[in-house]
Structure 1
């Protein structure tokens, strides 16, 4: 048993994802500071925040629900990355790193829900 959510690999990788998203959005147009930039950063921050909050809950079903919310934030971020790409706000290698890390985090979240709720 882990002593803290900070020991969860998915939490650690989602923290890394935040750094990638902040670096990526640093180059977005200033006009997007309160638009897409802010939305992407908030969605990224939501992922480890919900993992941490869920881990801190006493009941397994609550933990599962928070992991599902984290997964939803990941899907939101994935959509926002697609929008940023279509608007031409991103460059190849920068966005690719964020996309790969997000994909890895999403797979880990899905696996975590399956592990916590085998009936799923």
Structure 2
């Protein structure tokens, strides 16, 4: 087992959740149960799956949950792009969050290889 609080990727994913929550506060209220909800769930899924994997018994199990976390990261990235394409929020506000998401994706691949 890995101590999740010591994992750099988990810390970054928590940072991402906070950024997504701040960003979604800027979205129209009529998106509360639509894209806003999806964005939040995707972001939370990343950190949650990293944590769940860290608590598993083997590195293979951990890799499995890192894979799920990475899928959620790509889902989040797609939803952020949709928010821009639908003119719900400006690219200027979304770009730093997308960049953090991509950084986590890269960290995830590297961590999976290390395991």
Q: Give the TM-score, by structure 1 length.
A: 0.91
Matches within 5 A, 1:46-61: 46-61=45-60
Matches within 5 A, 1:23-102: 23-102=22-101
- How many angstroms does 1:90 deviate by? 1.6
Between the aligned partners of 2:2 and 2:65, the Cα distance in structure 1 is 18
Displaced runs of 4 or more, over 6 A: none
**Residues 60-105 of structure 1 deviation map (CA, whole Å, 9 limit, x = unaligned):** 1111000000000001001101110101112233211101111111
Q: Give the TM-score, by structure 2 length.
A: 0.95
Moved more, 84-93 or 29-38: 84-93
3-state SS in 1 of match to 2:64: helix
Q: Which stretches in structure 1 are left out of the alignment for 5+ residues?
A: none
Is the 8 Å Cα contact of residues 43 and 72 (structure 2) preserved in structure 1? yes
Corresponding pairs, count: 115
Task: Kindly report the root-mean-square deviation, in angstroms, between the aligned alpha carbons of the 2 structures.
Answer: 1.3
Counterpart of 1:10 in structure 2 is 9
3-state SS in 2 of match to 1:93: helix
Counterpart of 2:19 in structure 1 is 20
